[in-house]
Amino acid sequence: MDIEKDRDERVQWICSSKDNKELEERYNQWAKDYDTDLDEGLGWMGPQHAVELFARLVPKAVRILDAGAGTGLVGELLTGQGYNNIVAMDLSSGMLEEARKKNVYREFHQMMMGGPLDYATDSFDAVISVGVLTEGHAPASSLDELIRITRPGGYIVFSLRPDVYRDNGFKEKQNALEADGKWKLVEVSEEFRHLPKGKADAYHQIWAYQVVSS
């Protein structure tokens, strides 16, 4: 068995889910093997790059939402950087169950980005979202709610594939939000191979915005 090919195929299987219900079920099934497959197996680099940029911008004593926290890889790295007030939110209860075992989050909420989020306006000082705003996952319209729940002056840091940015409405949405005075771009990273041990020649970038008005 070609285990590397198997892992690449599993990522494709996830991304080809026909709706959010199927996506949730597939992540529930994958949850126990996610860290072994994606992090150890394919060398998932999204969390490292995002947290490195986040830590350069965001002070430590803040309340953070990890949107699409998955099994908690981002939370672990944030904790390693000295953050200790992190909330995990995800579509999949199975992924949140794995995140719970990492002992790095204060709260766990099962919610779906793309529709209204069950958080009050200005609930968080910062939001981080890695590997979530992508094909078959959370759409560009999710950004409205992320801005609403982040206080003015707070940061939103997320990863995005350059092709998804270009072709899936993110470019237009991000620019419109800036033109409307909702947020301003602080930094965008170089493109990096997000699964360097896998076969796919695919890239991500990290985007950082500061909220102006929610």
Ligand X SMILES: C[S@@+](CC[C@H](N)C(=O)[O-])C[C@H]1O[C@@H](n2cnc3c(N)ncnc32)[C@H](O)[C@@H]1O
Residues that bind ligand X (CB under 6 A): 23, 27, 46-47, 68-70, 73-74, 90-92, 95, 112-114, 130-132, 137-138
Q: Based on CB atoms, which residue is closest to ligand X, 13 or 152?
A: 13
- Minimum distance of ligand X from residue 60's CB (angstroms): 20
- Minimum distance of ligand X from residue 202's CB (angstroms): 13
Report the residue number whose CB is nearest to ligand X: 70
- Minimum distance of ligand X from residue 54's CB (angstroms): 12
Q: Based on CB atoms, which residue is closest to ligand X, 128 or 211?
A: 128
Please list the residues that pair with 183 across neighbouring strands: 211
Type of residue found at 202: A
Q: Based on CB atoms, which residue is closest to ligand X, 69 or 177?
A: 69
The two three-digit tokens of residue 1, written as one number: 């068995």
Q: What is the DSSP letter of 113?
A: B
Count of Cβ atoms closer than 10 Å to residue 6 Cβ: 11
User: Kindly report the CA angle at 159 between 155 and 178, in degrees rounded to 5?
Assistant: 50
Q: Based on CB atoms, which residue is closest to ligand X, 177 or 206?
A: 206
- Minimum distance of ligand X from residue 38's CB (angstroms): 7
- Minimum distance of ligand X from residue 78's CB (angstroms): 11
Tokens 């394919």 — which residue? 42
CA distance 33 to 114: 26
List of residues 6+ apart from 149 with CB closer than 8 A: 65, 117, 119, 120, 121, 122, 123, 124, 127, 214
Q: Based on CB atoms, which residue is closest to ligand X, 34 or 209?
A: 34
